[in-house]
Amino acid sequence: MTETGQQKSHFEWLVKTYFSDPSRRLSVKKDEIIIRQGHYNNRLYLILEGEFQGYIQTETGIQKDSLRAGANNFIGVQSFFSKTFISMATMKALTDCEVAYIDRNQAVVPTDFMTSLEQQFMPIVVEDLMRRSNKMTELNQERGQALTKLIETEKMASLGQLAAGIAHELNNAIAVLARNTHWLMERYNAAIKNKMTHTIFNIGLMQGRIYSSREVRERGKMIAEKYSLSKEKAILLGQTGLDDEILKSYKNRLEEKAEEIYNLWELGATFNDMLIASEQSTHVVNSIRALGAKHTARIPGLDINESINNALALLRSKLSSVHVQLKLRKVPAIIGNMGEFVQIWVNLINNACEAMCHLVNHNHKLNISSSATSANIIVKVKDNGLGIPQKSIDAIFQPNFTTKIHGMSFGLGLGLSIVKRIVNEYKGTIDVESARTGTTFIVKIPVGGENEET
């Protein structure tokens, strides 16, 4: 016979020998107290059915859980075997219970080896105490986890509230700037009567600053040579995206007019700067606000590829020094919210840029691809940055995880936690593969279920 088998048969022997007297049985109703802390108890109970809770009242009046016991467990062990017959804890029935008991006057039924109750009960009681201690550890752990989660939730909620407050104030200010920029731009546009003036202003407005400072210098040299202009004037024109057709139309008056042309273009480009900046600030504010926000409107016909393109548009200036490779295959439309998806990609792309900005060779490559299986839409965002250290990889989706506080920039550490929340809400998954040569985030969004278009 195995050890547990022996134990089992010993237990069965104990039950049969000591707890089968029908006159020593009790029915205990739910919430009834069978043993009271500090009171006399000379009984050892065996629970036949139901569950008991044991608790201790401290001097300061706090009630502490001390045990949970169910069928085949004993209660009253401490007062019975310590021979004080005073209980240190209160036992209350959590459900309607059936118990059997023996008391201090119980006659021993001797066996060959064991001639006292203590000897006979010891193996079972030790096991019972062990079980109790394990159960309490388990309970404590669960509570600890619940508490951590609660704190986390409260932290997020208060941060969300704070963010909503800030967002509201900022949005008002941004709205004033954005609307007035638009208004000024339209009025200015309408006020220009001259066709050429109109064209130059609008090239600045529509294109913005398409040339890097390096390209501007090169173009300046080229224009200076081509139109025999002074270096100073040529560099002004080098900044503009004006083509030869326009420049040629000024014939030999280009040197004289260069500053005027540049100023007109600069006016347009400045409006462009302001519009981009207000868009960017709105986006930042909305990202913060999305933190606490639950479900936003999800509508059919969402094209995930479009959300990727929107995200890229938002990050245009940030991506100016990054070589972006897009491989977007046709994917099925789903029910979803454009803003949420844009936010996913913006956060992932932003992180990729951060990861690559530490590269010395400045050869920044970002690969974004989308594809679909019958079950999922799969989007991969891959950078060639330095990778995520192994020790951090488990923590990256946690709120407050950031690499940016002591490094190159500043972050709230919320980006990936927001991404994960949104992806999870679509019943999707996000995985990360990272090596010293780069990191790939893989987002899978199921096509069926709640996301399916009907």
DSSP class of residue 408?
A: S
CA distance readout (Å), 386 to 347, 357, 361, 368: 18, 9, 12, 18
- Helix (H) or strand (E) holding 299, with range, is strand 299-302
Show contacts with other proteins in window 36-75 (CB under 8 A): none
Question: By CB under 8 A, is residue 320 in contact with other proteins?
Answer: yes
Query: Of the candidates 9, 317, 392, 400, which one interacts with other proteins according to CB under 8 A?
Result: 317
- Interaction of residue 170 with other proteins, rule CB under 8 A: no
Report, in Å, the least distance between residue 197 CB and other proteins: 20
* Assigned token pair, 405: 């506080």
* Cβ(237)–Cβ(261) below 8 Å: yes
Q: How far is CA 256 from the centre of its chain?
A: 59
83 contacts other proteins (rule: CB under 8 A): no
Residue type at 101 in one-letter notation: Y
The pattern of x and - marking residues 360 through 379 that bind other proteins according to CB under 8 A reads: x-x-x---------------
For residues 290 and 338, give the distance between their C-alpha atoms in angstroms, rounded to a whole number: 13
Among 159, 192, 328, 357, contact with other proteins (rule: CB under 8 A): 357
Q: Which of 23, 213, 374, 390 binds other proteins (CB under 8 A)?
A: 213
Q: Taking CB under 8 A as the rule, does residue 383 contact other proteins? A: no
Our CB check for other proteins shows the closer of 116 and 409 to be 409
Q: Does 219 bind other proteins (CB under 8 A)?
A: no
Instruction: Mark the segment that binds other proteins (CB under 8 A) among 111-119, 164-172, 323-331, 356-364.
Output: 356-364
- Nearest-angstrom CA–CA distance, 312 and 315: 5
Separation CA 96–CA 26 (nearest Å): 11
Comparing CA positions, the residue from 52, 43, 2, 51 lying closest to residue 24 is 43
Closest approach, Cβ 308 to other proteins, in A, equals 22
> Least Å distance between CB 356 and other proteins?
8
For residues 242 to 281, the per-residue mask of contacts with other proteins, x marking binding by CB under 8 A and - elsewhere, is ------------------------x--xx--x--xx----
**Residue burial 188-207, b: 16+ Cβ < 10 Å; e: rest:** eeeebeeeeebbbbebbbeb
Tokens 């080229």 correspond to 222
The one-letter amino acid code at 377 reads I
The count of residues interacting with other proteins (CB under 8 A) is: 24
Q: Which helix (H) or strand (E) holds 191?
A: helix 117-191
Please report how close the Cβ of residue 391 comes to other proteins at its closest, in angstroms: 22
Residues that bind other proteins (CB under 8 A): 209, 212-214, 266, 269-270, 273, 276-277, 317, 320-321, 353, 356-357, 360, 362, 364, 405-406, 408-410
